A and B are shown apart, each in its own frame.
Chain A
């Protein structure tokens, strides 16, 4: 079940995005996006935040493509997940498949 968040200023309810909806967007962003995960936690100043971690295909994380890819992904997620209406601050984090694999090997 989605977590319910009260927005005091608007007296309306906004919901944190479900993993199912995030998965649907990740599918639409394939093949550049392999998967997207999110977690809710306080940020450095203890403000509620949602961290959206995007695993990119190696080709999408090439230096000459990265800026365009992350911009397109961020915009789509921001708009389609309604992140602007959340009290949680969205933070996007990107890594490539090969980076992720090496992190697993090192663990």
Chain B
């Protein structure tokens, strides 16, 4: 995906330092959510062995309306958990695909703002749902990452 580059400064007219700061904003947003989930996993004694790929795989399962639990029963996933799981997938793609792998360091201000809003909403949703058993299942599934 083509991005705004520092010489073009689309929508900003700002310095290359400003443009780089947009990339750092996306990175910070993703890792904030990443560590939020790790923090809650650690509080439950489940902090080890989390990494990006398996977390994405599990998040894809939890962004649907139902999730098949450990014994094969289909369970309803609350909207707030779905929102967090969806945000995790989206932020990860934004960072790992288009930021870390984009040597041109191109950024679009509007897109970065939308990404930051996604992260903010995910934090709010997680605060509202973190005590729910399905939130615990989400964290636990990321730890086990058992093939489904």
Chain A residues packing against B (C-beta within 8 Å):
43-45, 47, 49, 51, 53, 56, 61, 63, 66-67, 70, 84, 89, 91-96, 98-100, 102-103, 105-106
* Contact across chains for A43 and B8 when beta carbons are under 8 A apart: no
Quick check: is B134 within 8 A (CB to CB) of the other chain?
A: no
Of all A-B residue pairs in the complex, the 6 with the closest CB atoms, nearest first, are A106-B8, A44-B97, A102-B10, A99-B11, A44-B96, A67-B117
Report the Cα distance A64→B18, complex, angstroms.
21
List 30 A-B pairs, Cβ < 8 Å. A44-B93, A44-B96, A49-B93, A56-B110, A63-B113, A66-B113, A66-B117, A67-B114, A67-B117, A84-B64, A84-B65, A89-B89, A91-B90, A91-B93, A93-B108, A94-B108, A94-B110, A95-B110, A96-B11, A98-B11, A99-B4, A99-B10, A99-B11, A99-B108, A99-B109, A100-B10, A102-B8, A102-B10, A103-B2, A106-B5
Quick check: is B1 within 8 A (CB to CB) of the other chain?
A: yes
Chain B residues packing against A (C-beta within 8 Å):
1-2, 4-5, 7-11, 53, 56, 60, 64-65, 89-90, 92-93, 96-97, 101, 108-111, 113-114, 117
CB-CB < 8 A to B89: which residues of A? 89
CB-CB < 8 A to A61: which residues of B? 110
